[in-house]
Amino acid sequence: MSRNLNLTINGKMYEFTVGDRLGQIPENETLVDTLRDRLGLTGTKRSCGQGACGCCTVIIDGKAVASCLTLTVECEGKKITTIEGLADPVTGELDPIQKAFNEHNAFQCGFCTPGIIMSTKALLDANPNPTEEELKEALSGNYCRCISHYQVIEAVKSII
């Protein structure tokens, strides 16, 4: 018996069935794979696959979550936002965080950037005026090997 799975991703409703047959979502599929491989939402990056680096961060019901550690089947009925869903859906205007990152060149290779932006978004939604310490704490699960940290902090500080 297959069962249905309803996900809301970036404001759009998706209906899948769960199972092992071709095209179905297996029980063990992680959200990062669903987003990237099924939906083409490749802005969410796959990197460590262990919840250590934050490259795959998405927002689920307001919280920043590692999508590589999240089973897609567990997201039934949840509201998921990925980096592709941050801009205003009607006007296309970028989120202030995205603008600030771009204006401050707050990235080098940019591979960690979507994850860092999503963690920042979750923080600012919950706490619009974080201290620098709170910001660093919120981003402590996001690795950046290029060392863009200092510029990221500048960028976020410019909008809080």
Q: How far is the CB of 68 from ligand FES (least distance, A)?
A: 3
- The interface with ligand FES within residues 73-132 (CB under 6 A) comprises 107-113
32 to 71: interface string for another protein, x by CB under 8 A: ----x----xxxxxxxxxx-xx-x----------------
Instruction: Print burial letters for 4-39: b (CB count within 10 Å at least 16), e (below 16).
Output: ebebebbeeeeebebeeeeeebeeebbbbbbbbeeb
> Closer CB to ligand FES, residue 109 or residue 126?
109
What mask, x for binding another protein by CB under 8 A, covers residues 86 to 125? xx------x---xx-xxxxx-xxxxxxxx--x--------
Q: Does 11 bind another protein (CB under 8 A)?
A: no
Contacts 24+ apart (CB under 8 A), 101-105: 101/152, 101/155, 103/155, 103/158, 104/151, 104/152, 104/154, 104/155, 104/158, 105/151
Rounded Cα distance, 71 and 61, in Å = 15
What are the CA-CA distances from residue 122 to residues 37, 57, 82, 84 (Å)? 24, 10, 11, 15
Q: 113, 107 in Cβ contact below 8 A?
A: yes
The 1-40 site mask, x for binding ligand FES (CB under 6 A), equals ----------------------------------------
Stretch that binds another protein, among 11-19, 72-80, 122-130, 135-143 (CB under 8 A): 135-143
Binds ligand FES (CB under 6 A): choice among 60, 148, 155, 156: 148
List of residues contacting another protein (CB under 8 A) = 26, 36, 41-50, 52-53, 55, 82-84, 86-87, 94, 98-99, 101-105, 107-114, 117, 135-137, 139-153
